[in-house]
Structure 1
Amino acid sequence: PAAVLAALPGARAVGGAVRDALAGRPVQDVDVAAPLPPDAIAAALRAAGLKVFETGLAHGTVTAVLDHEPVEVTSLRRDVVTDGRHAEVAWTTDWREDAARRDFTINALSLTADGDLFDYFGGRADLAAGRVRFVGDPATRLAEDYLRALRFFRFQARYGRGAPDAAALAAIRAAVPGLARLSAERVWMELKRLLAAPDPRDALGLMAATGVLGAVLPEGVAQDILAALLRAGAPADPVLRMAALVAPGAAAAPLAARLRWS
């Protein structure tokens, strides 16, 4: 990441790496954003001696590799058109505009190579308080991409403490019909990450109360079996936990086919 930041004047680390560093948690992948169009980013990285793979050029993303360590680098973006699943984007040089299109305040933080933190929407305070809150109007963020309803519960399971954000829950409850527009692969991707949390039961209870769990798992659920699995100290394996979560008697093969499992 240091080599990438050095190659791109004005670039910052963004998203999960900044969030987890502030939370004192292990940092996994470091993502970088820069106020340059993707072709200029790629040229600057190659000039600095890094390998560049154009992994998501239409969305403004390239992957830089140095010493076998990949770093995703994305142009600052603003949404032009959204349809609840995908977005058409345009490049911008405005960091606040880029942060405003992100899902939650705790994911809208950015950090310079010199350690200067930029927090346009109160994400640092929300992180300290254990509050998962949408950037701006929750209904607007959900209408841009309904997967954010599931992402809310994943982040609630890992970072939330105390009462969940009431405005977020109300907007999610109203957005449940939009979940039908999501692909099975994207739904399972989020469910898998939620089920890998140390203890997902409270978040799953919130999902049930808002109607989200019934929408994505119409086969029915049995949280008491999952609770027994957790008490037994079983591995935090998402497929194992899904097997415990789905109601007894539910046909496993149709569920696996619907979620496009291997």
Structure 2
Amino acid sequence: MGGSHEFIIPAETPWLCDSTVQRLFAAFLDAGEELYFVGGCVRNAVLGAPVSDIDLSTSALPETTMAIVKAAGFKPVPTGIDHGTITAVRDGQPFEITTFRKDVETDGRRAVVAFSKNLREDALRRDFTMNALYADQTGRVIDPTGGLPDARAGRIRFIENPHDRIREDHLRILRFFRFSAWYGNADLGFDADVLAAIADLSDGVLDLSKERVGQEMLKLLVAPNPVPAVAAMSQIGVLSKILPGADPQFLGPLVHLEEQSGTQPDPLR
């Protein structure tokens, strides 16, 4: 990573300079373990977008994480310990900390994971390059997959091979369109190779639970302008599989009405 592809989150960023967060980092570093901010908080800091949740990733195994946070004065809650996730709570503030992971088995819905000590392995199991951004306690961004230039350009790019990433979890088909609606550069359009991969594997959305599909579609539809993404979904046959009879041509007037009424899109609802 170098030159224009470097980024440091401003030191005055509230969640970065928060004393409770920095206490966590000090505890892990003193124990000889790595700890990083990861995912949405880093991506949104790069894009200048609001940050709602702080997720952390560590080289420490879950049992070690439990011990470290307890010794540092946090309450450890094993919210998803089988998958490597611990929630550290202090003064009512929860921090989700997950051990580096790698996929060992996938079925298109849920992955079986193994713990890892390697940040790059953890990055490679994620969906899009812009979601595989990490930051250390100083705000320096670590970019193992080229996510910084992609995020800045508004390019939603799967990590390595799109077919492989989609086969791991078919929900990534819907996530691609949701992220395109929120973070994509409309002038770039949709990558033809990605759309071809989605079309090839689109039957996989039929295996997803209605709850997972519904959550993704709601997040997509409250984007500032979901029309191009929904139109692309319709064009390659995804929309008819999850919402039979849906017609994207009615979305345009609805978006216009929202604009006229002053309704603001909300990425967090």
TM norm structure 2: 0.84
Decide which of 114, 117, 121 is 2:145's aligned counterpart: 121
Q: CA deviation at 1:118?
A: 1.1
Q: Does 1:207 align with 2:233?
A: yes
Q: Which residue of 2 aligns with 1:231?
A: 256
Distance in 1 (CA, whole Å) between partners of 2:27 and 2:105 is 31
Decide which of 151, 157, 167 is 2:175's aligned counterpart: 151
RMSD of equivalent CA atoms: 1.5
The aligned length equals 237
Q: Which residue of 1 aligns with 2:113?
A: 89
Q: CA deviation at 1:6?
A: 2.5
Decide which of 35, 41, 54 is 2:78's aligned counterpart: 54
Aligned-partner SS, 2:52: coil
Unaligned runs of 5+ in 2: 1-20
- One-letter identity of the residue aligned with 2:168: E
Q: Which residue of 2 aligns with 1:198?
A: 224
The answer to whether the Cα contact below 8 Å between 1:5 and 1:32 also exists between their aligned partners in 2 is no
Q: Does 1:177 align with 2:177?
A: no
The answer to whether the Cα contact below 8 Å between 1:197 and 1:236 also exists between their aligned partners in 2 is no
Aligned-partner SS, 1:177: helix
Aligned-partner SS, 1:143: helix
Q: CA deviation at 1:223?
A: 2.8
The answer to whether the Cα contact below 8 Å between 2:41 and 2:51 also exists between their aligned partners in 1 is yes
Q: Does 1:217 align with 2:243?
A: yes
Unaligned runs of 5+ in 1: 239-262
Distance in 2 (CA, whole Å) between partners of 1:178 and 1:61 is 27
- One-letter identity of the residue aligned with 2:205: L
Distance in 2 (CA, whole Å) between partners of 1:37 and 1:221 is 46
Q: CA deviation at 1:114?
A: 1.7
Q: Does 1:132 align with 2:156?
A: yes
Once the two structures are aligned, what percentage of the paired residues are identical?
Answer: 45
Q: CA deviation at 1:237?
A: 8.1
Q: CA deviation at 1:119?
A: 0.6
- One-letter identity of the residue aligned with 2:55: D
The answer to whether the Cα contact below 8 Å between 2:234 and 2:248 also exists between their aligned partners in 1 is no
Q: CA deviation at 1:224?
A: 3.5
- One-letter identity of the residue aligned with 2:253: A
Distance in 1 (CA, whole Å) between partners of 2:183 and 2:176 is 10
The answer to whether the Cα contact below 8 Å between 1:60 and 1:75 also exists between their aligned partners in 2 is yes
The answer to whether the Cα contact below 8 Å between 2:223 and 2:265 also exists between their aligned partners in 1 is no
Q: Does 1:8 align with 2:9?
A: no
Q: Which residue of 2 aligns with 1:245?
A: none
Q: CA deviation at 1:167?
A: 2.0
- One-letter identity of the residue aligned with 2:71: A
Q: CA deviation at 1:236?
A: 6.2
Q: CA deviation at 1:227?
A: 2.1
The answer to whether the Cα contact below 8 Å between 2:109 and 2:169 also exists between their aligned partners in 1 is yes
Decide which of 81, 89, 107 is 2:131's aligned counterpart: 107
Distance in 2 (CA, whole Å) between partners of 1:116 and 1:236 is 32
The answer to whether the Cα contact below 8 Å between 2:57 and 2:99 also exists between their aligned partners in 1 is yes
Q: CA deviation at 1:7?
A: 2.3
Q: Does 1:98 align with 2:118?
A: no
- One-letter identity of the residue aligned with 2:246: V
Aligned-partner SS, 2:53: coil
